Amino acid sequence: MIILGIETSCDETAISIIEASGGAKIRVLSNVIISQIEIHKPYGGVFPALAKREHARNLTPMLEQTLNEAGLLTSSKQQVSSSKDDDFKKLLEREPELLAALLEFLPKIKVPKIDAIAVTYGPGLAPALWVGINFARALSLAWEKPVIPVNHMEGHVFSALLKKSRKEFPIFNFQFPNTPVLALLISGGHTEIVLIKKPFQYKVVGETRDDAVGEAFDKAARILGLPYPGGPEISLRAEKFRKRRRTSDQPLATSYHLPRPMIRSDDFDFSFSGIKTAVLYMVKKIENLTEGITEDLREEICYEFEEAVTETLLSKTLRATEKYKPKTVIMGGGVTANVHIQKMFKETFEKKFPDIKILVPEKNLSTDNALMIAVAGYMRALHNPKKILEPNGRKMKALRADGNLSL
Ligand code: KG4
Ligand code: ZN
């Protein structure tokens, strides 16, 4: 099966084409991402209307690029029929720029040899999700291909199950791990612990009551005068402080302390807004007493912030592990790109639960991408063909963006 995956839930526009057969081997024919980070930087976070506009602008050129890379682009002289033109225009009436680009591009190519289109329909920013969904539906209409709606968080779970084949790159081996699985999903919009007793059966056993952990990284960074996205900025400075401490002649104890919210509560829930507020007060206090925050001090606060977040995530995951006794622990979402968090999880689990396998996404697969969406779509289609929406069918027409979709 050849699947075209589309991801537009937040500030990355991504398209990927995969070829898969039998379930275990995934050949990546193309995998393209355009990050909108630079566009959202001045706002200190993602600005939904801009994200929507950028997705609409990016998708058609990216489609051309991915089809080309996958060897599926063939030019044609045949025009799309005019009856379809009307449906097309209606479907994309809120995305005039995307409509114009597609009306120009599609008649120039032959229907590509793909079997289905997988698209993220939630969770995420509704205006951004809608662009991806309407784009997928437009392609489905033009090419008469089915659509597989994908839950973005299931994509993050599956991203940890893809392992690069050393011999035959760009092939990834995909394997369902031993169950029960506990998944810690940490991203800009989510922080949750999910119990997976059987493949495709999810139960959220703990989640954040306020900010997501990535959001806390982004907000703390902003308070510290660092650009969006804050995660990599904070992590870089925390590492510098650690290095300074390792190489310093004198022991360099940090004099700044941040809370570890809810670390002793009996449940598996999180709360990160308190840490962010504590950073704000800390910074205000320093600014009142001194001429401002020095880079050394900023590094020290970043360090303390990363330690506080890591300890909180780890302690809750360990507690959930004691209760649910998983055979595998999966980490997914943009924050798993954090080297310190990964290292502490691996070291602690190795010590306390050496029999439990920890799976984290390969580099570049932690943050949003369309490869994970194509793979999740493929796996869903194999597992439950009812999830496939036939072109022009009733279910296709009912497909909606669901910003708050849960697993
Ligand atoms: O999964 P993702 O790409 O998008 C969402 O679905 O939200 O996650 C983005 C989040 C941002 O908040 C970003 O600051 C955070 O992941 N992030 C990191 C790191 N790299 C990205 N957080 C901590 N450390 C990192 N190295
Ligand atoms: Zn994500």
Pair 340, 239: CB distance under 8 Å? yes
Beta bridge pairs of residue 147: 117, 389
Cα(124) to centroid of ligand 1, in Å? 14
Same domain, 226 and 369: no
Closest among 373, 378, 372, 384 to 22, alpha carbons compared: 378
Angstrom distance (rounded) from CA 366 to CA 331: 9
- pLDDT recorded at residue 263: 92
Report whether the peptide linkage leading into residue 42 is cis, meaning its omega lies within 30 degrees of zero. Answer: no
- Within a domain: 167: no
- Within a domain: 240: yes
Angstrom distance (rounded) from CA 134 to CA 351: 48
Pair 31, 371: CB distance under 8 Å? yes
Which band of pLDDT confidence, cut at 50, 70 and 90, is reported for residue 86? Answer: confident
Pair 197, 174: CB distance under 8 Å? no
- pLDDT recorded at residue 82: 54
- Within a domain: 405: no
- Within a domain: 291: yes
Same domain, 315 and 264: yes
pLDDT at 79 over 70: no
pLDDT at 178 over 70: yes
pLDDT at 197 over 90: yes
Same domain, 153 and 270: no
- Beta-carbon contacts of 322 under 8 Å, excluding residues fewer than 6 positions away, are none
**Buried residues in 273-289 as b, exposed as e (16+ CB within 10 A):** ebbbbbbeebbeebeee
- Within a domain: 264: yes
- Within a domain: 198: yes
Same domain, 11 and 55: yes
Tally: H helices and E strands in the chain: 13, 12
Query: How crowded is the C-beta side of 75, counted as CA atoms within 13 Å?
Result: 2
Which band of pLDDT confidence, cut at 50, 70 and 90, is reported for residue 76? Answer: confident
**What is the residue-averaged pLDDT of the chain?**
94
Same domain, 201 and 128: no
Same domain, 21 and 150: yes
Query: How crowded is the C-beta side of 69, counted as CA atoms within 13 Å?
Result: 18
Query: Could you say which DSSP state residue 389 is in?
Result: B
Same domain, 185 and 270: yes
Give per-residue pLDDT as tens, 219-246: 999 999 999 999 999 999 999 999 998 8
* Residues having CB within 6 Å of any atom of ligand 1: 10, 187-189, 214, 217-218, 229-232, 235, 333-335, 337-338, 367-368
pLDDT at 68 over 90: yes
Q: Looking at the 3D structure of the chain, how many domains does it have?
A: 2
Same domain, 208 and 64: no
Give per-residue pLDDT as tens, 277-336: 999 999 999 999 988 899 999 999 999 999 999 999 999 999 999 999 999 999 999 999
Same domain, 284 and 142: no
Cα(160) to centroid of ligand 2, in Å? 13
Which band of pLDDT confidence, cut at 50, 70 and 90, is reported for residue 254? Answer: confident
Q: Which residue has the higher pLDDT, 359 or 39?
A: 359
Residue 270, domain extent: 177-360
- State the DSSP string of 190-238: -EEEEEEEETTEEEEEEEBSS--HHHHHHHHHHHTT-PSSHHHHHHHHH
Same domain, 356 and 373: no
Which amino acid, 21? S
Diameter of the chain measured on Cα atoms: 77
Q: Show the beta-strand stretches assigned E in 77-152.
A: 116-122, 147-151
Cα(313) to centroid of ligand 2, in Å? 18
pTM: 0.95
Pair 208, 272: CB distance under 8 Å? yes
- Within a domain: 168: no
Same domain, 239 and 130: no
Token look-up 């289905």 returns 116
What the block records as the tokens of 237 is 């400075």
Which amino acid, 18? I
For the CA of 368, the closest atom of ligand 1 is 3
pLDDT at 83 over 70: no
Same domain, 184 and 106: no
pLDDT at 153 over 90: yes
Cα(198) to centroid of ligand 2, in Å? 22
Residue of 302, 340, 367 to test ligand 1 pocket, by largest number of atoms within 8 Å of CB = 367
Give per-residue pLDDT as tens, 20-32: 987 789 999 999 9
Domain at 218, CATH number: 3.30.420.40
- State the DSSP string of 277-308: HHHHHHHHHHHHHSSS--HHHHHHHHHHHHHH
- Within a domain: 393: yes
